[in-house]
C-alpha cells in the first residue's frame, strides 16, 4: 500500500524577556505564584518537524552541546504530549525534530519552552489536527510555565505560575540589547536561592505591575526603563555575582536601563531606539563582561509557520513511501 508522507513543517518562535517579574511565596506544589509581564523578542529558534524513519531530536546552533537530545528535551516532550492528546501515541515514534537555536540555553529567555511551543504548532500542522491556539495552550501549560506565552507572543500579563495569560497593549517597538553569559543558570536553583535570601532577610520586592502596563501603552521607552524590575534578579546575582558588572556595563554603554531576564543569567538592556541599540551592543561587546551580545526588538508574534500565516507553506510534491 502507498502512504503519502506530509512535507516537513518549520516554525519560528520567539524568546521572551520579563519586563516585570514579581514572585510570591512557594506553593505546596513547589511552584511560586508569579505576576509577570512577558514581551516576545525578535531573537528566535527555528523548529522543523518531519515524518522520519530516524525519529528523535537534533540540535544545531546556540548552546547545541548543552541541550539534551533524549526524552527530556522539551520539544520531544511536546511530541509525546500532542500524540497522547490526539490519541496517536504510536505516531510519535515516527517524528524527527530539528532545532536551530538562536536563544541562549538556560538563559532565562525560555528557549526550551519556545521549542516546545513551536513543536506543538508544527506537529499539529503536520498531522492536520486543526487545533485552535487556545487548545494548544492547554497542552503547552502541562509542559512548562512559559510554554503558553511562546505560542501567543506579543506582550502579556502572566499570573498563576506564569501560564495564565492576558494580552497587554504595547503600541511601540522597543529596542533591546541582550548580553549572553558564559554559562546558563538553573531555573529551580534561582527560585531556591530567592527562598533562601527571603528566609535570611528581606530582599527588596518589585511593586505593582500597573505602572508597567501604563508605560507600555504610552510607548515611551524612557518611562518603561524606570519600571523594569525582577524579584529573581537578586537571586541570580547572588549565584552569579559577575552579573552586577554586566548590568553596570550596559548602562555605562548608553542603555536606558538593564534587567536580568527571568531567572537569568541573560541581561536585557532597553535602549532609546534601533540606532542606540547598535551603539550599546558595540560598546558592550568590547567591555569583556559577557560571551555574546545581540540586538533584538519586541513585541513580535508568537510561534508562526515559516512561509505562511498559519497555513502550511506551499508544499513540495509529497514524497511517497511504498
Which positions touch ligand SUD (CB under 6 A)? 18, 21, 30-32, 34, 36, 108-110, 113, 144-146, 161-162, 187-188, 191, 262-263
Catalytic residue among 16, 101, 115, 231: 16
Of the listed pieces 17-25, 86-94, 107-115, 293-301, which binds ligand ADP according to CB under 6 A?
107-115
**CB of 110 within 8 A of CB of 151?**
no
**CB of 176 within 8 A of CB of 269?**
yes
Number of Cβ atoms within 10 Å of the Cβ of 311: 9
Query: Could you tell which of ligand SUD, ligand ADP, none binds residue 31, using a CB distance below 5 to 8 A set by kind?
Result: ligand SUD
Binding flag, residue 265, ligand ADP (CB under 6 A)? no
Binding flag, residue 148, ligand ADP (CB under 6 A)? no
| C-alpha cell of residue 154 | 506579543
Known catalytic residue at 146: yes
Give the residue with the Cβ less far from ligand SUD, 125 or 233: 233
- Applying the rule CB under 6 A, the residues between 169 and 198 that interact with ligand ADP are 184, 187
Among 14, 102, 108, 221, binds ligand ADP (CB under 6 A): 108
- Torsion of Cα atoms, 268 then 272 then 273 then 277, to 10°: -40
Binding flag, residue 106, ligand ADP (CB under 6 A)? yes
Query: Could you tell which of ligand ADP, ligand SUD, none binds residue 93, using a CB distance below 5 to 8 A set by kind?
Result: none
| C-alpha cell of residue 148 | 503558553
Catalytic residue among 115, 146, 181, 231: 146
Give the residue with the Cβ less far from ligand SUD, 95 or 260: 260
Q: Which of 159, 162, 155, 72 is CA-nearest to residue 108?
A: 162
What gap in Å lies between CA 287 and CA 301, rounded to an integer?
Answer: 32
Known catalytic residue at 16: yes
Complete edge-to-edge strand list for the sheet that includes strand 292-298: 257-260, 267-271, 174-180, 292-298
Closest distance of CB 183 from ligand ADP, Å: 10
**Helices vs. strands in the chain: H and E counts, helices first:** 10, 14
Closest distance of CB 34 from ligand SUD, Å: 5
Binding flag, residue 263, ligand ADP (CB under 6 A)? yes
Closest distance of CB 136 from ligand SUD, Å: 16
| CB-neighbour burial class of residue 188 (10 A; exposed 0-12, middle 13-18, buried 19+) | exposed
Closest distance of CB 30 from ligand SUD, Å: 5
To which H or E segment does residue 22 belong? strand 9-26
Give the residue with the Cβ less far from ligand ADP, 137 or 256: 137
Closest distance of CB 56 from ligand ADP, Å: 13
What gap in Å lies between CA 164 and CA 146, rounded to an integer?
Answer: 10
- Applying the rule CB under 6 A, the residues between 284 and 303 that interact with ligand ADP are none
CA quadruple 71, 75, 78, 82: dihedral sign = negative
Q: Which of 148, 75, 80, 78 is CA-nearest to residue 105?
A: 75
Among 14, 102, 112, 258, binds ligand ADP (CB under 6 A): 112
**Annotated binding-site positions:** 104-114
Please list the active-site residues: 16, 146
Amino acid at each position: 500500500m502507498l502512504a503519502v508522507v506530509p512535507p516537513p513543517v518549520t516554525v519560528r518562535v520567539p524568546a521572551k524577556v520579563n519586563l516585570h517579574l514579581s514572585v510570591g511565596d512557594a506553593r505546596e506544589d513547589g511552584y511560586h505564584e508569579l505576576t509577570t509581564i512577558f514581551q516576545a523578542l525578535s531573537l528566535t529558534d527555528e523548529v522543523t518537524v518531519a515524518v522520519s524513519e530516524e525519529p528523535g531530536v537534533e540540535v544545531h546552533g546556540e548552546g547545541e552541546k548543552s541541550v539534551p537530545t533524549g526524552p527530556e528535551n522539551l520539544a520531544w516532550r511536546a511530541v509525546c504530549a500532542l500524540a497522547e492528546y490526539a490519541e496517536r501515541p504510536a505516531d510519535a515514534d515516527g517524528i524527527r525534530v530539528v532545532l536551530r537555536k538562536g536563544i541562549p540555553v538556560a538563559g532565562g529567555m525560555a528557549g526550551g519552552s519556545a521549542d516546545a511551543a513551536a513543536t506543538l504548532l508544527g506537529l499539529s500542522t503536520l498531522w492536520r489536527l486543526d487545533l485552535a491556539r487556545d487548545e494548544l495552550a492547554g497542552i503547552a501549560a502541562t509542559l512548562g510555565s512559559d510554554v503558553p506565552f511562546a505560542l501567543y507572543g506579543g506582550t502579556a500579563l502572566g499570573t498563576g505560575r506564569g501560564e495564565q495569560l492576558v494580552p497587554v497593549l504595547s503600541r511601540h517597538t522597543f529596542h533591546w540589547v541582550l548580553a549572553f553569559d558564559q554559562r546558563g543558570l538553573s531555573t529551580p536553583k534561582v527560585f531556591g536561592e530567592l527562598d533562601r535570601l527571603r528566609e535570611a532577610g528581606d530582599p527588596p520586592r518589585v511593586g505593582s505591575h500597573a505602572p508597567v502596563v501604563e508605560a507600555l501603552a504610552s510607548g515611551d521607552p524612557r518611562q518603561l526603563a524606570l519600571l523594569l524590575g525582577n524579584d529573581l534578579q537578586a537571586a541570580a546575582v547572588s549565584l552569579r555575582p559577575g552579573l552586577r558588572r554586566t548590568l553596570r556595563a550596559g548602562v555605562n554603554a548608553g542603555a536606558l536601563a538593564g534587567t536580568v531576564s527571568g531567572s537569568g543569567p541573560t541581561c536585557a538592556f532597553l535602549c532609546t531606539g534601533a540606532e542606540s541599540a547598535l551603539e550599546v551592543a558595540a560598546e558592550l561587546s568590547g567591555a569583556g563582561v559577557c560571551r555574546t551580545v545581540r540586538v533584538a526588538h519586541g513585541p513580535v508574534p508568537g510561534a508562526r509557520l515559516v512561509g505562511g500565516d498559519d497555513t502550511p507553506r506551499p508544499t513540495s510534491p509529497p514524497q511517497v513511501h511504498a
